[in-house]
Amino acid sequence: MEIASVTFRAAALAAADRPTEPFPHVVVAGRSNVGKSSLLNWLFRRDLARVAKAPGKTRTVNFYLINRNMYLVDLPGYGYAKAGRGLREQWGAAINAYLCDDDRIAGVLCLVDVRHGPTPLDLDLQALLARIGLEREVVLTKADKVGRGPRAAMQHRVRAELELPSPPLAVSVARGEGRGELLARIDSLVTSWRSSERRQ
């Protein structure tokens, strides 16, 4: 797939405030500073998502209408709140309710920094997604920050640790690596969501 059009809509997550179209949602999640805004701007080829915001400031949920037939949903980053507060408390009830209840969610892109691997809050997210039964696609960000060897080792480690069917994709916005593969994985989440919708 390619992104031909993007329309930005900020929104709250209460059921009444979400976009109403029956389009699939691909949700993008990760800890603050993982490179989420940079990655979204890179996919859009436009600076719509703010980069390098003050840590922990962005609490809005941003819905981006893509190609007039799907949404990319940018959730607030986690991990800057006081130590000891879990993902559930940081994100709050609205995000949990959205992830649990909205049957338009085709999958969640879980961004993880290639240098650090999954943090405890990343593992909380994985557990939450497993409990809800949502599809996930783990993406290692900032791949240019490590050499080939450490990158491959982290892909191997994360695949084993998170029990993924295949190694996670590693992308670099700085070097422009992995954009096509990432779009293909988004497309595949959306395609399987559409075919399961048809079966119902």
Residues engaged in binding ligand GDP (CB under 6 A): 30, 32-38, 51-52, 77, 141-142, 144-145, 172-174
Specify the residue, 24 or 35, whose C-beta has the smaller distance to ligand GDP. Answer: 35
For the chain, the DSSP string reads -----EEEEEE--SGGGS--S---EEEEEEBTTSSHHHHHHHHHTS--SPSSPSTT----EEEEEETTTEEEEEPPPBS-SPTT--HHHHHHHHHHHHHHH-TTEEEEEEEEETTT---HHHHHHHHHHHHHT--EEEEEE-GGGS-HHHHHHHHHHHHHHTT-SSPPEE-BTTTTBSHHHHHHHHHHHHHHHHHHHHH-
Specify the residue, 93 or 174, whose C-beta has the smaller distance to ligand GDP. Answer: 174
Specify the residue, 85 or 131, whose C-beta has the smaller distance to ligand GDP. Answer: 85
Specify the residue, 99 or 113, whose C-beta has the smaller distance to ligand GDP. Answer: 113
Minimum gap (Å) between residue 38 Cβ and ligand GDP: 3
Minimum gap (Å) between residue 193 Cβ and ligand GDP: 25
Minimum gap (Å) between residue 6 Cβ and ligand GDP: 17
Minimum gap (Å) between residue 195 Cβ and ligand GDP: 31
Q: Give the C-alpha separation, 83 to 118, whole Å.
A: 16
Specify the residue, 53 or 156, whose C-beta has the smaller distance to ligand GDP. Answer: 53
Minimum gap (Å) between residue 37 Cβ and ligand GDP: 3
